[in-house]
Structure 1
Amino acid sequence: MRARLKICVLAIAALACTAQPAVAQQILRDAETEAFMADMSGQLVKAAGMEPKNVQVLVINDPEINAFVAGGQIVWVHSGLIAQADNVNQLQGVVAHELGHIEGGHVVRFGEGIKEATGVTLLSLVLGAAAIAAGGAEAGMGIMGLGQQAAMTKFLAFSRGQESSADLAGARYLSKAGLSGKGSLEFFKKLQNQEYRLAIPQDNSYGRTHPLSGERINVLREVYTVDPAWDRPPDKVLEARFERIKAKLIGFVSEPTQTLQKYPETDQSIPAHYARAYAWHKGAYPQRALDEADALLAAAPHDPYFLELKGQILLESGRPRDAVAPLRDAVKITNQPLISVLLAHALIATEDESNFAEAEQVLRLAVQRDRENPFAWYQLGVVYERRGDTPRAALATAERYAMMGEHPMALRSADAAMQGLQAGTVDYLRAQDIAMTSRAAIEQQLKKR
């Protein structure tokens, strides 16, 4: 009986894991993309009653058409979703839905659905065991099986209820922000076409974690078509920025041949130049990539993201000295931490000690504004090490390992930093904090074993 109880509970837990994906994929951090995502979603975040500065919309490298929330105020968007979206309004519709999950506390409440379903399972186990003890082995096993089925049905209904709630919440946010719901319906139609291709029965959504796309379209159509913003076109500036983001993303994640088919050289648009620059760079044709970057800069000489692109191509093609100038210009225009880290990387890669002081200054400012960047801490550690400041190099390493969840290495590096730092200083206290947090995390992990 004990073994069967464990299996039943694990069945519910496994379902919970599939409903809320873990963030195991590669996070695609890009200055232009993150700025666009913040601007694209800002009105929706305010409409949901949240502070835009506290909400992030980040991209992960996954070809599936999906988006999700997994705790906190972060919306995770798959690269495949952006690649398949036709316009910015479709992306806004998806983000609005995910914000509905955040506002509704659905990740936190997810445990309620598991608890209720597990309760049904446990009751069926008790009744089944009683029947078996009374001599009715077959009846007892039947009760247990029915109990598991009832538990799963209850859980799936709970999950579908959350999805429907998020759909309607997203519709409210779009309306309040003055954005059309056309994009939302268009994207659900894409999902419906995918269901058709997968031969998913369309009669009802019984046995699914999400309502069928057709069911969702029917409900939302009644809401969206009567909204004053229904016929309002997307913002032209945001739409142009979306096309750039989509193109550079496709160029970065797709095979070069696929990118060049989608954006042939006969296409002289800004998005096409962008996509081809990444495709040629990925395919190890640096000069062709630079030609595309120069075409972009000819159209907009002071665009910081075009300058960043040229600097990145030069740096990663083994020309760090040439990369410094365009990256310096990009940082001057945006003061964006991700671009600043790229500039520091170029300065360090020159192996010219006269550049190290600038690299340190740039990196210190970058980590003040964006501490969640392991590569920035790595670069800062390199600068300190080359300057002979071993304690601060160890502290930077501790920061990096702590951020990555490598608690033993973080503790070791923090202890090494404290050995050389003056007690009571800001850096010493920070190393002490990392050591205490890492030690507690290690102890917690040991208790779970």
Structure 2
Amino acid sequence: MRHKESKSTYRNNGKPGIGTMKLIATLLLLLSVTQISLADSNDSPLPTLGDYTSGIVSPDQEYRLGRAWLRQLRAQAPTIEDPLIYDYLTHMLYLLASNSDLENPNLVLAVINSPQINAFAVPGGVIGLNAGLLMHAQSEDELAAVIAHELAHLSQRHFARGQEYNQRTQWVTAAAILASVVLMATAGSDAGMAALATTQATAIDQQLRFSRNNEREADRIGMQTLVRAGFNPQAMPGFFERLLKNSRYAGTIPPEFLLTHPVTQSRISDSKNRADTYPLKNNTQSLEFELMRIRTSVAYTREDTSAISELETNLKENKTANKEVTRYGLAYAYFRANRYDDALTTLAPLLIKRPNRITYLYTQASILMAKSDYKGAIRVLEKGLSFSPDNYPLSMAYAEALLRNNQPLPALKVVKQQQQAKPLLPNPWYIMSECYGKLGNNIGVHEARGEYYFLTGRLEKALEQLNYAQALAQEDFQLHTRIRNRLMQIKRSANDLKL
């Protein structure tokens, strides 16, 4: 991640388009999370490690499957690595998870570079959110409602329960298809094909009905999580209803969220009735939500100049509900347009008002780095880290500022701490490889690159880099053995997508 992150982290980087990933995501959802539920979701007990589903797919298998799927996602879909966005959404995710029915909330977040509205959960604790969700949610409560819904899919282990149902019912469909083939041989191809089509249609209809049951169950459990975490339960039906209405009025293809999460008026009514049973909760709008929302919106504006013009007008003519948020959006738009002095001037009043706000300090440091004022950026980041040690966005920016200021050793120390705290993130490994390069540690360069490639789903490149490292470590038996063992471990991980 280079520190033009404000632009590069929202780019495709040559990966397949989101249309391709929509198909992949839809197929995965049909095969996993929203696939199948139990017939009576309202009375469904929480699965335990000793239940039948755990015999079909163990939690350990789900964990490995989810991590392998995440690596493949990074290899095939454009993702956003903006540390501020990631950190905000991760905090939201864990706040909700701590109030959910998840027994072991070992979660990892993927933010998809798409302005469309969508979210998904993958077995093993992977939660995916499109950046568009952050732009289109009108409140933090609505954002929380979607995340709580996805967490419910995980806590109820819908994937494992789907596998259980498949094992119990697969023979019925297979026998019916076999009967259709026999019918084709005896009564003619038309009759046989008609029977085969009917059998397949029935199987698909059963899956859709179970999927709808899953969605209702996720609504119910998710709303409980939402309330426990202090959010407004009315946000869940409100968000779903607005999506449904907007898609009808637009007369176009519905949002991805509606394609992967079937929403009906009946389901919305059920959700409304359930929300009415809880006390009314009117939360004040979260400043950090608004800041991340406008940061994302500015990043998705096609032309930086159009974003600047609109924000300048809104700020000058007082056409904004929150001047502070609009001012931040304008400073960020100036930054993206390489108008660094304007960006700093616009940001300055916000830093006077809230001198310790991490979002403002990180943005200030990013602008200073873009101006090649690395020492100035280091001072800003050290101030932030003095009251928020180990903060992920500040630490990553600090490591990069140190590195650019020709201080690779302290930079390496900082980024190593982040890698150990967040072992599933690829970006710390990327910066570590650059640190090792400046230190002349070629083994470290290849090891770090290998881990980066592995976490981003490029297995062959990962193995290639680690083989280079192993060859260079011939004289160090302990290091050579460690790298060899890691090579074997990565090779075995190729089977993690198989249950």
TM range (shorter): 0.7 to 0.9
Structure 1: give runs of 5+ residues left out of the alignment: 1-12, 202-207
Q: How has the CA–CA distance of structure 1 residues 129 and 170 changed in structure 2, closer, same or farther, with 3 Å as cutoff?
A: same
Q: How has the CA–CA distance of structure 1 residues 53 and 223 changed in structure 2, closer, same or farther, with 3 Å as cutoff?
A: closer
> Which residue pairs with 2:466 in the alignment?
414
Q: How has the CA–CA distance of structure 1 residues 95 and 313 changed in structure 2, closer, same or farther, with 3 Å as cutoff?
A: same
AA of the residue aligned to 2:424: E
**TM-score relative to the length of structure 1:** 0.82
AA of the residue aligned to 1:383: C
> Which residue pairs with 1:204 in the alignment?
none
Task: Indicate whether 1:293 and 2:347 are aligned.
Answer: yes
Partners of 1:200 and 1:407 in 2: CA distance: 39
Partners of 1:51 and 1:291 in 2: CA distance: 48
Matches of residues 9-408 of structure 1 in structure 2 within 5 Å?
16-17=27-28, 19=30, 23=73, 24-50=76-102, 54-112=106-164, 119=171, 121-197=173-249, 199=251, 210-228=261-279, 231-234=280-283, 236=284, 239-255=286-302, 256-257=304-305, 259-260=307-308, 261=310, 264-266=314-316, 269-334=323-388, 335-350=390-405, 352=406, 355-408=407-460
Q: Deviations over 1:219-262 (max 9, x none)?
A: 1222111213xx1222x4x7222112212222223333554436
Partners of 2:132 and 2:455 in 1: CA distance: 27
Q: Deviations over 1:330-356 (max 9, x none)?
A: 333322234323222222223x3xx22
**Does the Cα contact within 8 Å between 1:32 and 1:305 map onto a contact in 2?**
yes
**Does the Cα contact within 8 Å between 2:446 and 2:466 map onto a contact in 1?**
yes
Superposition RMSD in Å: 3.3
Q: How has the CA–CA distance of structure 1 residues 35 and 153 changed in structure 2, closer, same or farther, with 3 Å as cutoff?
A: same
Structure 2: give runs of 5+ residues left out of the alignment: 1-23, 34-68, 254-258
Q: How has the CA–CA distance of structure 1 residues 56 and 346 changed in structure 2, closer, same or farther, with 3 Å as cutoff?
A: same
Q: Deviations over 1:98-119 (max 9, x none)?
A: 1110111123334456667865
Q: Which structure ranks higher in relative contact order (CA pairs < 8 Å, sequence separation ≥ 6)?
A: 2
Give SS of 1:101's match. helix
Partners of 1:366 and 1:14 in 2: CA distance: 30
Partners of 1:226 and 1:64 in 2: CA distance: 32
Structure 1 residue 41, shift from structure 2 partner: 4.5
**Does the Cα contact within 8 Å between 1:320 and 1:349 map onto a contact in 2?**
yes
Q: Deviations over 1:384-432 (max 9, x none)?
A: 223222222222222222222322322232233234446464x555423
Give SS of 2:286's match. helix
Number of residue-to-residue matches in the alignment: 421
AA of the residue aligned to 1:379: I
Structure 1 residue 163, shift from structure 2 partner: 0.8
Give SS of 2:128's match. strand
AA of the residue aligned to 1:347: L
**Does the Cα contact within 8 Å between 2:400 and 2:431 map onto a contact in 1?**
yes
Give SS of 1:134's match. helix
AA of the residue aligned to 1:308: Y
Partners of 1:305 and 1:51 in 2: CA distance: 32
Greater Rg by CA: 1
Partners of 1:115 and 1:198 in 2: CA distance: 41
**Does the Cα contact within 8 Å between 1:304 and 1:329 map onto a contact in 2?**
no
Structure 1 residue 34, shift from structure 2 partner: 4.0
**TM-score relative to the length of structure 2:** 0.75
Give SS of 2:127's match. strand
Give SS of 2:232's match. coil
AA of the residue aligned to 2:425: N
Partners of 1:290 and 1:52 in 2: CA distance: 43
**Does the Cα contact within 8 Å between 1:188 and 1:213 map onto a contact in 2?**
no
Q: How has the CA–CA distance of structure 1 residues 303 and 227 changed in structure 2, closer, same or farther, with 3 Å as cutoff?
A: closer
